[in-house]
Amino acid sequence: MNIGLFFGSFNPIHLGHLIIAETIYDRTELDEVWFVVSPQNPLKKRKSLVHEFDRLRMVELAIADNFHFRASDVEFHMPRPSYTIDTLTYLSEQFPQHQFSIFLGSDNLKQLRKWKNYEQILAQYRLYVYPRPGDKVSLSHPAIMEVDAPLLDISATFIREAIQQERSVRYLLPDAVVDYIRSKKLYF
Ligand SMILES: Nc1ncnc2c1ncn2[C@@H]1O[C@H](COP(=O)(O)OP(=O)(O)OP(=O)(O)O)[C@@H](O)[C@H]1O
Ligand SMILES: O=C(O)c1ccc[n+]([C@@H]2O[C@H](COP(=O)([O-])O)[C@@H](O)[C@H]2O)c1
């Protein structure tokens, strides 16, 4: 099968992520999308990062009604921080029957040269890149396919700040995720 991997902190998952995943799934030959929850992004600070089990649970709740989508905790069992090339290598060994590609926002593409073994990622995997507000797709490479997807100016940072300030986050993320955040008092 062709599997699209959507790596992220998902702190928390929101409609921007879900719309991108559905758009790329719909416009490509992918059979499934796996949301890979990264315990620790090598280039981000741990500040306000809730526990990885909570982030995974929120992803599971958000995608429960979409049978093309799966949540993956593969990086929970791997060394920290989470280097994408290591996860790709592990998954390719574990599932030789699948072809893996990855999704990348243009904001992360800009940083790709700082990633561990990024040349290997470009040499071995296809990258589906989609625009993020304020960041044009700035790198051209045969492995990079640009996907025209709606630009939604939602970020997990904005959502965390709104929750902390007790403002509404309704419609920015699925109701089940909002309920989970409230019940576990996350980001307060
Ligand atoms: N609104 C959005 N539309 C499309 N892609 C998004 C959106 N928000 C995040 N992404 C992408 O999803 C991936 C995972 O993002 P991440 O979990 O860090 O979310 P984020 O909202 O950017 O988080 P934060 O605000 O905490 O940095 C990244 O590649 C990022 O580019
Ligand atoms: O492999 C790397 O060197 C690397 C550097 C920066 C980010 N990443 C991964 O990119 C993904 C997106 O991160 P985030 O925090 O923006 O959701 C996440 O899975 C990170 O582990 C990976």
Measuring CA to CA, which residue among 108, 144, 174, 149 is closest to residue 23? Answer: 149
pLDDT in tens, 21-73: 999 999 999 999 999 999 988 887 777 899 999 999 999 999 999 999 999 99
Give the mean model confidence (pLDDT) for residues 169-184.
97
pLDDT at 75: 97
So what's the ipTM on this one? 0.93
pLDDT at 38: 95
Higher pLDDT, 149 or 15: 15
pLDDT at 77: 94
Share of the chain above pLDDT 90, in %: 81
- Per-position DSSP letters for 67-111, written without gaps between them: TTEEEE-GGGGSPSS--HHHHHHHHHHH-TT-EEEEEEEHHHHHT
Residues with CB under 6 A from ligand 1: 8-11, 16-17, 20, 104-105, 107-108, 132, 152, 154-157
Rounded Cα–Cα distance for residues 122 and 128 (Å):
11
In the structure, what pLDDT confidence band is assigned to residue 109 with cuts at 50, 70 and 90? Answer: confident
Measured by CA distance, the residue closest to atom 22 of ligand 1 is: 155
Hey, what CATH class is 2-153 in? alpha beta
Rounded to 5°, angle at Cα 164 from 159 and 170: 45
* Stated pTM of the model: 0.95
Measured by CA distance, the residue closest to atom 1 of ligand 2 is: 83
* Domain locations in the chain as residue ranges: 2-153
In the structure, what pLDDT confidence band is assigned to residue 151 with cuts at 50, 70 and 90? Answer: confident
Distance in Å, CA 147 to ligand 2 centroid: 19
Q: Which ligand is nearest to the CA of 44?
A: 2
